[in-house]
A and B are shown apart, each in its own frame.
Chain A
Amino acid sequence: NAGVTQTPKFQVLKTGQSMTLQCAQDMNHNSMYWYRQDPGMGLRLIYYSASEGTTDKGEVPNGYNVSRLNKREFSLRLESAAPSQTSVYFCASIVRGTGPLHFGNGTRLTVT
């Protein structure tokens, strides 16, 4: 019973490099989310996908793109990483829109 699985767990990038954070859930949830968490800033929503085939911007979408590959998978891409994107990234999913979120274990990203 894996729940929400994120890869990688840790990543170090140089400024300008690109990478994709992967997320998969095995709970047959409809909605999936990407958050970032910075000290003193709490969890901030980057992008979400209410259902397969749809994606929408959250509070802090600049510098990111997402793909809802299928019902299980939702990826987050940084096209040109910047030091301001150093953060812990969490993927989460919900059965439907207003239910409780289930979080993955997070990806700690450092951009130098």
Chain B
Amino acid sequence: QKEVEQNSGPLSVPEGAIASLNCTYSDRGSQSFFWYRQYSGKSPELIMFIYSNGDKEDGRFTAQLNKASQYVSLLIRDSQPSDSATYLCAAPSGAGSYQLTFGKGTKLSVIP
């Protein structure tokens, strides 16, 4: 079973700070990685995806991928209380796989 690991948290950061969320994966064949945000009682929503090594920026969010270290991270700059949610990392179970494996999620709290 391919694994995606996340620190469950909770991770608390003050408003305006940078939140750093981390994820490791076991399958070296994984080619694409996804970050989802899930508010309590709601369904997951996609916020970022990354396919290539390096950084990908979208507004206040930056995804970082290091395939050699099998590590993907999400940085949230200028964190807001509305960013308080659980963040899920996901990767396909192998290259071209139709199965997407999720980490257990990191709960982020942004303190006003």
- Whether A97 pairs with B97 at a CB distance below 8 angstroms is yes
- The residue on B at minimum CB distance from A106 is B43
Instruction: Report the interface size class on chain B.
Output: 20 to 34
Partner of A42, one of B42, B96, B98, B102: B102
Residues of chain A contacted by B101 (CB below 8 angstroms) = 45
- Whether B31 pairs with A98 at a CB distance below 8 angstroms is yes
User: Please, how many angstroms separate the alpha-carbon atoms of A44 and B104 in the complex?
Assistant: 9
- The residue on A at minimum CB distance from B30 is A98
User: Please, how many angstroms separate the alpha-carbon atoms of A59 and B101 in the complex?
Assistant: 9
- Whether B88 pairs with A43 at a CB distance below 8 angstroms is yes
Q: Mark A61-74, 1 if CB is under 8 A from B, else 0.
A: 00000000000000
Partner of B100, one of A41, A45, A106: A45
Q: Is the interface of B mostly helix, strand, loop or mixed?
A: loop
Q: Is A50 located at the chain interface by the 8 A CB criterion?
A: yes
Q: Mark B78-112, 1 if CB is under 8 A from A, else 0.
A: 00000000001010100011111111110000000
- Whether B104 pairs with A45 at a CB distance below 8 angstroms is no
Contacts A98-B31, A98-B32; A105 near B102 (Cβ below 8 A): no
Interface residues of A (CB under 8 A from B): 31, 33, 35, 40-45, 48, 50, 56, 58-59, 90, 97-98, 100-106
**Listed A/B pairs (14) with beta-carbon separation below 8 Å:** A33-B100, A42-B104, A42-B105, A43-B88, A43-B102, A44-B102, A56-B98, A98-B31, A98-B97, A100-B46, A101-B36, A102-B46, A103-B45, A106-B43
